[in-house]
């Protein structure tokens, strides 16, 4: 199994669920994480990543960390200073139309969104509300492009787009697609030589459908045009994702593996969870399992069954622990506070 991993956690793309998978694998195999300085939750995002943002990194010691997976703005030469040269690089993408709809609800306080009532209103005159000089502009345009380290207001000529896609291909071993999450997990398992249980998950940081609304076609087209660079990244890597699956796994085996993964997840859900699955924030009984609520979204969580056997309780708890709590827990394990 591969143990040296860089995961570029792209915003609003099921990346918290992938992070939970990496946290569990790392904890189980006693791996080290490249944590943000002081145990924070982002690597000084939205600044480009620098090695000095990582707790315990020193240019004088050659210490390398196994897993880098907290939010960052990608800059490979700096990333290479904190992980072994053998590290596998991957990320996950989401359709830019749904991504921006989610971003609008989640980052409602961002300067570009704060003066509009709806996404339609924003897209009717985006330049009226969007300021390329503002520090939080990336939440409102080409968010994936920004997270990969490029300029979200960059040139969209075919030549520039090709250069950007080539640069991403040169840095990353593979990219997953959040709309095909189970297929993505089968690919992840294959690329990392992991077993099925290592890629099992429950959706984390997902929001209640009451805050989601379908978008009219006219808005969808405006969204694609406004997020043109993201759209180019997504369509290109959606295609290469399926080409890779066909080449490595084939559709027949893929169907079998997806079925096995879903069966295992259903089994664990029956064993671990009260009720049928995720619940609203007010209904989560154990406060340590309550996810951070943000913007206008209602972020769902889980209730565990009571009285589970110890080993199973531990497995179940890890599967549903929100990312901030899990990150803090692993940070304290890796950097224990000095005894009083």
Q: pLDDT tens-digit profile of 245-285?
A: 999 999 999 999 999 999 999 999 999 999 878 999 899 99
In a domain, 340, yes or no: no
CATH code of residue 195 = 3.40.50
Percent of the chain with pLDDT over 70: 99
| 206 is a domain residue | yes
Q: Do the domain assignments include residue 188?
A: yes
Residues of the chain with pLDDT under 50: none
Domain residues for the domain of 48 are 5-334
pLDDT of residue 295: 73
* Whole-number pLDDT of residue 331: 97
Is the residue at 339 inside a domain?
A: no
Handedness of CA 258, 273, 205, 50 (dihedral sign): negative
Number of folded domains in the chain?
1
Q: Is residue 227 part of a domain?
A: yes
Mean of pLDDT over the chain:
95
């Amino acid at each position: 199994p591969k143990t040296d991993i860089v995961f570029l956690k792209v915003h609003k793309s099921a990346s918290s669920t992938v992070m939970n998978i990496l946290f569990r694998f790392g904890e189980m195999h006693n791996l080290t994480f490249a944590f943000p300085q002081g145990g924070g939750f982002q690597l000084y995002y939205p600044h480009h990543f620098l090695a000095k943002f990582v707790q315990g990194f020193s240019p004088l010691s050659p210490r390398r960390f196994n897993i880098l997976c907290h939010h960052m703005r990608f800059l490979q030469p700096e990333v290479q200073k904190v992980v072994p040269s053998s590290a596998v690089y991957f990320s996950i993408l989401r359709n830019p139309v749904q991504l921006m709809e989610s971003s609008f609800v989640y980052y409602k306080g961002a300067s570009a969104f704060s003066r509009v009532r709806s996404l339609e209103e924003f897209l009717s005159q985006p330049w009226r509300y969007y300021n390329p000089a503002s520090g939080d502009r990336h939440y409102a345009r080409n968010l994936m492009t920004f997270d990969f380290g490029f300029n979200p207001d960059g040139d969209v000529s075919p030549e520039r787009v090709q250069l950007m896609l080539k640069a991403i291909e040169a840095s990353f071993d593979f990219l997953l697609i959040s709309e095909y999450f189970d297929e993505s997990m089968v690919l992840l398992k294959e690329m990392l030589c992991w077993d099925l249980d290592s890629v099992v998950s429950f959706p984390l940081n997902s929001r209640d459908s009451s805050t989601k609304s379908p978008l009219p076609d006219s808005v969808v087209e405006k969204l694609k045009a406004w997020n043109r660079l993201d759209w180019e990244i997504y369509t290109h890597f959606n295609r290469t994702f399926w080409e890779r699956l066909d080449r490595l796994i084939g559709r027949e085996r893929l169907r079998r593996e997806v079925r096995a993964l879903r069966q295992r997840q259903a089994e664990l859900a029956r064993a671990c969870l009260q009720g049928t699955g995720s619940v609203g924030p007010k209904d989560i009984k154990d406060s340590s399992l309550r996810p951070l609520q943000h913007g206008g979204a209602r972020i769902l969580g889980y209730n565990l069954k009571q009285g589970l056997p110890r080993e199973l309780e531990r497995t179940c708890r890890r599967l549903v622990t929100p990312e901030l709590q899990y990150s803090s827990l692993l940070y304290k394990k890796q950097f224990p506070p000095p005894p009083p």
